[in-house]
Amino acid sequence: MNMKFALVATAAFALTLGVTQAARAQAIDFSKVEVKTTDLGHKTYMMEGAGGNVTVAVGADGVIMVDGEFAQMHDKLKAAVAALTNQPIKYLINTHFHGDHSGDDENFAKDGVIVVAQENVKKRIAEGSTNGLTGNKTPGLSGGAVPSKTYTNGSLTLKVKGRSAKVGHVPNAHTDGDSYVWFADANVLSTGDVMTIGRYPNSDFANGGSINGMISAVGQYIAMTNAQTKVVPGHGSLTNQAGLKDYRAFLIAARDRIAKLIKAGKSEQEAVAAKPFADWDAKLGANDQASGNFVRVVYNSLKHSTMSTIH
Ligand SMILES: [Zn+2]
């Protein structure tokens, strides 16, 4: 298998899975963060600051934005968008509820931006959530911190003058509220954390995520893209359809390795101790905690999943 997708090690690695979003935010010196903007063509851009990747589509009378990072990034992201256009941001889409993607919702809502997400994102932000690995709780939020426009199944189309974005739901993948955003006119797909590059992904099993759902979702992404598509992952560098194919093969291999351990009667702890991802750890520069956490999320999502196995 081509492991190219996994070779870009970033500082994000230090922020291992299982750490609460608040702790992640505390570990970042936001004053030192600069937003890097990459032109994807057709007035569509990828932005990288602190938190999840951002996608920006500029129309003639407004902007559609995908994910808004942490609240502390608000002014810098706004300035980065203002450097591209005088038009206001009309929609901010949350690809899922995690704070490194949705933590800026309240600030944008205050600016008059309509925050859009799948219904379960609204539910988890409003009701609060528990991290399945650490047991840490994130309290519920209200007002502008909660998305104001939601959809349940299927998809939703958002429009600004000259641009449209298809926001589609993939069930039980990274979480139970994942949306991808498809800019057909620019041939750009934003995946949210269903796909991450340069670090182990996460199936947030305590919040409806599952490894089989991720495999299925990435299969859908491969079907909707072509060889020229630019793919913005939830974290890490810009990729493409070949990257999606490599990543899907990696997810299947990870799933199968853990399924084998479960079949052999191994407990979660025994599965972690077996270091089933040791070969990938070296390539990713992943430490024991990051590797063990990925073992644990795959193990738990398989153990508790009623979804059928996807090949
Ligand atoms: Zn996430």
Give the model confidence (pLDDT) of 252-274 as tens digits.
Answer: 999 999 999 999 999 999 999 99
Provide the residue range defining the domain that includes 66.
Answer: 10-241
**Which residues are near ligand 1, the ion (C-beta closer than 5 Å)?**
98, 193
Q: How far, in Å, is the centroid of ligand 1 from the Cα of 193?
A: 5
Tell me, what CATH number does 152's domain have?
3.60.15.10
In this prediction, residue 306 carries a pLDDT of: 55
Q: HSE on the CB side for 149, CA within 13 Å?
A: 15
CB 244 within 8 A of CB 221: yes
Is 287 contained in some domain? no
3-state secondary structure of 206: helix
Is 263 contained in some domain? no
In this prediction, residue 21 carries a pLDDT of: 57
Q: How many structural domains is the chain composed of?
A: 1
Q: How far, in Å, is the centroid of ligand 1 from the Cα of 161?
A: 30
Mean pLDDT computed over 23-48: 91
Is 279 contained in some domain? no
Q: How far, in Å, is the centroid of ligand 1 from the Cα of 98?
A: 5
Is 93 contained in some domain? yes
Is 99 contained in some domain? yes
Is 255 contained in some domain? no
Q: Give the chain's radius of gyration (CA, Å).
A: 18
Q: How far, in Å, is the centroid of ligand 1 from the Cα of 119?
A: 16
CB 172 within 8 A of CB 307: yes
Single-letter amino acid code for the residue at 218: V
Question: C-alpha angle with apex 291: 286 to 295, nearest 5 degrees?
Answer: 160
- Phi-psi region at 69: left, alpha or beta (left = phi > 0; alpha = psi -120 to 50): left
Alpha carbons 263 and 160: distance in angstroms, whole number: 51
Give the model confidence (pLDDT) of 150-181 as tens digits.
Answer: 999 999 999 999 999 999 999 999 999 999 99
Pull the structure tokens for residue 159: 């429009």
Burial class (CB in 10 A: 0-12, 13-18, 19+), 46: buried
Is 190 contained in some domain? yes
Q: Does the structure show a pLDDT above 50 at 18?
A: no
The torsion defined by the Cα of 107, 50, 102 and 219, in degrees rounded to 10, comes to 150
5 — pLDDT class (breaks 50, 70, 90): very low
**Helical H segments across 225-276, by residue range:** 241-263, 268-273
